């Protein structure tokens, strides 16, 4: 085994002989993402590539717009290898900017619209970005103060380009020039930066190469059986790895299908579009899937074309999973992935029971998985443990993070996912929790995910999560935070319900809090860290005022 090599640009590369094996097996084809768009445009020229509001662009038109913007970016002085933070809402420009940066050899850092100065500033600093490309406003938020603050605090930033803004910013529409040719980039080089999940500290930059990303996109399109006939609704924020690459917008373009862009993922913004564009497939996180389920019964007709609903990003409880197949009348696909690489899918022809109860199996035959105990020893088959993985599209290290990488990866290059999983006899993964997402109640360990599953089976609980709150005697107590539409859901009711489902007494939440909505991460997953902070602050406040 040879050690991973640290590239000059601060990224950790795959060992040479492993890279050679991935090429020999055909996983890495040495094509860049910008070239891939050229190939797709040559193949599907006049076909519809994307729909965004009133705009309907063919593949040829998308490719031509990318050419002009790439040339415009070059005239602004954006050089090959330069990092550019992109924070655009879901819109056609998102894809044009993404591909234009790739075409001129720059590296997009894919930020989410919900991120704010602390995060965006950190991405600019971590990547020494030369430009920020955003929107003047979106979803009722004015990004101009953020853009000005960035200019003040990030010395590397030379250009701040905003869609829909004027001086002192560079209006995106003004970045335009006659198409020019660019020196080809190496497909083995970093193409873009994804961001690690926002619920565990400031996100780290995840360097994804052309080779590894394109492979995951094309293989995902194939697992999801995308074709020219596919119409993919992009409802989650497009910068996120799931709607971008699993198979997402990029996989749809790779298959010759059409990407329909929704500005927001709520039923009001999506159901009409699904009906109008005859959408066949889309991707949601579980809280949104539950929202769709509530709205669906009165809009059944609008959803008639929907064939596959992918749900991933966070645990999906069995009750909701079953309702998706019965209420939405489409197929469910569970997707368990991470921006660092590994993606698992239930397959479209899997039996329902497997689709309801597992998070799928790896995308690639070359994905290597180990399930280990606290000492990194393999657990017995079927037993739960922490998932470690490496493979042709899983990174070997975060960007410029040598210290963090020592803990986040094993010496032989496995990424420590931090997820607790078990593997079924037929090779499917069941996510049983996060390695640190447990409550230590005076020594008794409670896995949050287990209790959440049971809470969500209650017919009147729309959303639920379990977090630890500090306790003088026990160290920690379990607090269930729930969203419910009916009055009178109190602790005794919930305790009786959980007992009736066979849950041990010590796992019954000590405290129940009813809230209107749970805080979410920028992509819509429940943000436990924020919730824990809120609860701890509220507790300290009530103690002080007592
Ligand atoms: P991120 O850091 O945002 O890329 O999130 C990746 C993490 O989300 C994974 O490591 C899992 O903890 C979680 N996750 C993603 N998909 C699923 C899923 N289908 N079920 C449970 N957890 C998931
Ligand atoms: O949560 C994720 O990060 C995720 C979920 C599903 C992901 O990155 C993916 C699929 O590619």
Domain regions of the chain by residue span: 1-10+367-436, 31-206, 440-545
Q: Best mutation site among 112, 220, 242, 394 for ligand 2, i.e. most ligand atoms within 8 A of its Cβ?
A: 242
Distance in Å, CA 242 to ligand 2 centroid: 4
* Residue entry with tokens 């330069």: 82
- Alpha-carbon span 148 to 455, nearest angstrom: 45
CATH number of 31-206: 3.40.50.980
H or E segment to which residue 372 belongs:
strand 368-372
The answer to whether the CB of 241 is under 6 A from ligand 2 is: yes
How close is the Cα of 359 to the center of ligand 2, in Å? 12
CA of 343 to the centre of ligand 2 (A): 7
Ligand 2 pocket residue status of 392, Cβ below 6 Å? no
Q: Which helix or strand (DSSP H or E) is residue 325 part of? A: helix 318-327
User: Nearest residue CA, atom 22 of ligand 1?
Assistant: 314
Q: Which residues contact 380 (CB under 8 A, 6 or more apart)?
A: none
Locate the ligand 1 atom nearest the alpha carbon of residue 521 and give its number: 3
Distances (CA, A) of 497 to 359, 437, 452, 458: 26, 23, 13, 8
Residue 433 CA, ligand 1 centroid: distance in Å: 10
Cβ(337) – ligand 1 distance below 6 Å? yes
Residue nearest to atom 8 of ligand 2 (CA): 338
The predicted pLDDT at position 436 comes to 74
Give the count of beta carbons closer than 10 Å to the beta carbon of residue 43.
12
527 prior amide bond cis, ω within 30? no
Residue 311 Cα to ligand 1 midpoint, Å, equals 11
Secondary structure class of 443 (helix, strand, coil): coil
Ligand nearest to the CA of 195: 1
Q: Which CATH architecture has domain 440-545?
A: 2-Layer Sandwich (3.30)
1-10+367-436 shares its CATH topology with 31-206? no
- Give the Å distance between the CA of 75 and the centre of ligand 1: 40
- Ligand 2 geometric centre to CA of 375 (Å): 27
Ligand 1 lined by 127 (C-beta under 6 Å): no
Q: In order along the chain (546 residues), what is the average pLDDT of each group of 10 residues?
A: 55 94 98 98 98 98 98 97 98 98 98 91 96 97 96 96 96 98 95 78 88 98 98 97 98 98 97 98 94 93 97 92 94 97 98 98 98 96 97 96 92 95 98 84 82 92 92 88 92 94 88 93 89 83 69
476 CA distance to ligand 2 centroid (A)?
30
Task: Provide the pLDDT for residue 446.
Answer: 86
Our answer on whether the CB atom of 310 is closer than 6 Å to any ligand 2 atom is no
The tens digit of pLDDT for each residue in 296-335 reads: 999 999 999 999 999 999 889 999 999 999 999 999 999 9
Q: How far does the centroid of ligand 2 lie from the alpha carbon of residue 40, in Å?
A: 24
| DSSP code string of 36-93 | HHHHHHHHHTTSEEEEETTEEEEHHHHHHHHHHHHHHHHHTT--TT-EEEEE--SSHH
According to DSSP, the β-strands at 258-261 and 231-234 are: parallel
pLDDT for position 256: 98
Residue 462 CB less than 6 A away from ligand 2: no
Residue 481 to residue 531: CA distance in whole angstroms: 9
Ligand located closest to 112 CA: 1
198 lines ligand 2 (CB under 6 A): no
For residue 242, the CA-to-ligand 1 centroid distance in Å is: 10
Number of residues that this document lists for the chain: 546
Ligand 1 atom nearest the C-alpha of 241 is 4
- Which of 206, 218, 313, 417 has most ligand 2 atoms within 8 Å of its beta carbon, as the pocket-test mutant? 313
* Pocket of ligand 2 contains residue 338 by CB under 6 Å: yes
Ligand nearest to the CA of residue 431, numbered in listed order: 1
Give the Å distance between the CA of 312 and the centre of ligand 2: 7
CATH code for the structural domain at 1-10+367-436: 2.30.38.10
Of all ligands present, the nearest one to the C-alpha of 420 is 1
Residues with Cβ within 8 Å of residue 495, at least 6 apart in sequence: 508
pTM, rounded to two decimals = 0.91
CA-418 nearest atom, ligand 1: 10
Q: Per the structure block, which two tokens stand in for 496? A: 């009786």
Sequence-distant (≥ 6) Cβ neighbours of residue 546 within 8 angstroms = none
| Ligand 2 centroid – CA 307 distance (Å) | 20
Query: Which of 375, 381, 390, 377 lies closest to 1 in space, CA to CA?
Result: 390
């Amino acid at each position: 085994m040879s050690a991973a090599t640290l590239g000059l640009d601060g990224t950790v590369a795959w060992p040479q002989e492993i890279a050679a094996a991935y090429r020999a097996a055909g996983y890495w084809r040495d094509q860049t993402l910008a070239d891939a768009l050229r190939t797709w445009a040559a193949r599907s020229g006049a076909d519809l590539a994307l729909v965004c509001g009133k705009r309907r662009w063919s593949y040829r038109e998308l490719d031509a717009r990318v050419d002009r913007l790439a040339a415009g970016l070059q005239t602004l002085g954006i050089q090959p290898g330069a990092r550019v933070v992109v924070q655009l809402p879901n819109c056609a420009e998102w894809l044009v900017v993404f591909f234009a940066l790739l075409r001129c050899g720059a590296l997009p850092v894919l930020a989410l619209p919900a991120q704010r100065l602390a995060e965006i500033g950190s991405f600019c600093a971590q990547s020494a970005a030369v430009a920020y490309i955003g929107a003047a406003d979106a979803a009722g938020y004015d990004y101009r103060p953020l853009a000005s603050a960035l200019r003040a605090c990030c010395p590397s930033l030379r250009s701040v380009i905003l869609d829909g803004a004027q001086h002192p910013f560079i209006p995106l529409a003004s970045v335009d020039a006659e198409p020019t040719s660019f020196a080809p980039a190496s497909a083995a080089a970093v193409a873009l930066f994804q961001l690690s999940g926002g619920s565990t500290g400031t996100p780290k930059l995840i360097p994804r190469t052309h080779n590894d990303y394109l492979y995951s996109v094309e293989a995902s399109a194939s697992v999801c059986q995308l074709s020219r006939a596919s119409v993919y609704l992009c409802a989650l924020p497009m910068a996120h790895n799931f709607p971008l690459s699993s198979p997402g917008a990029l996989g749809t373009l790779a298959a010759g299908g059409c990407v329909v862009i929704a500005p927001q993922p709520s039923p009001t913004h999506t159901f009409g579009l699904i009906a109008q564009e005859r959408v066949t497939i889309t991707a949601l996180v579980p809280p949104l899937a539950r929202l769709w389920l509530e709205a669906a019964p009165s809009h059944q007709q609008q959803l008639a074309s929907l064939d596959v609903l992918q749900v991933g990003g966070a645990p999906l409880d069995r009750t909701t999973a079953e309702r998706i197949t019965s209420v939405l009348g489409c197929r469910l696909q569970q997707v368990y992935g991470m921006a660092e690489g590994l993606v698992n899918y239930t397959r479209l022809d899997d039996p329902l029971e497997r689709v309801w109860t597992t998070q799928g199996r790896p995308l690639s035959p070359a994905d290597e998985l180990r399930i280990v105990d606290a000492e990194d020893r393999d657990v017995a088959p079927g037993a739960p443990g922490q998932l470690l993985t490496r493979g042709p599209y899983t990174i070997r290290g975060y960007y410029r993070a040598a210290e963090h990488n020592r803990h986040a990866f094993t010496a032989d290059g496995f990424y420590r996912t931090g997820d607790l999983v078990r593997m079924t006899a037929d090779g499917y993964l069941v996510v049983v929790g996060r390695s640190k997402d447990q409550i230590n109640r005076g020594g008794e360990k409670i896995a949050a995910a287990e209790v959440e599953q049971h809470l969500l089976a209650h017919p009147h609980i729309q959303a639920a999560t379990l977090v630890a709150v500090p306790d003088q005697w026990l160290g920690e107590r379990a607090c269930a935070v729930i969203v419910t539409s009916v009055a009178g859901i109190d602790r005794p009711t919930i305790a009786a319900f959980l007992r009736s489902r066979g849950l041990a007494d010590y796992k019954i939440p000590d405290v129940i809090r009813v809230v209107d909505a749970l805080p979410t991460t920028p992509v819509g997953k429940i943000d436990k860290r924020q919730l824990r902070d809120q609860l701890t602050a509220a507790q300290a406040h009530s103690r002080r005022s007592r």
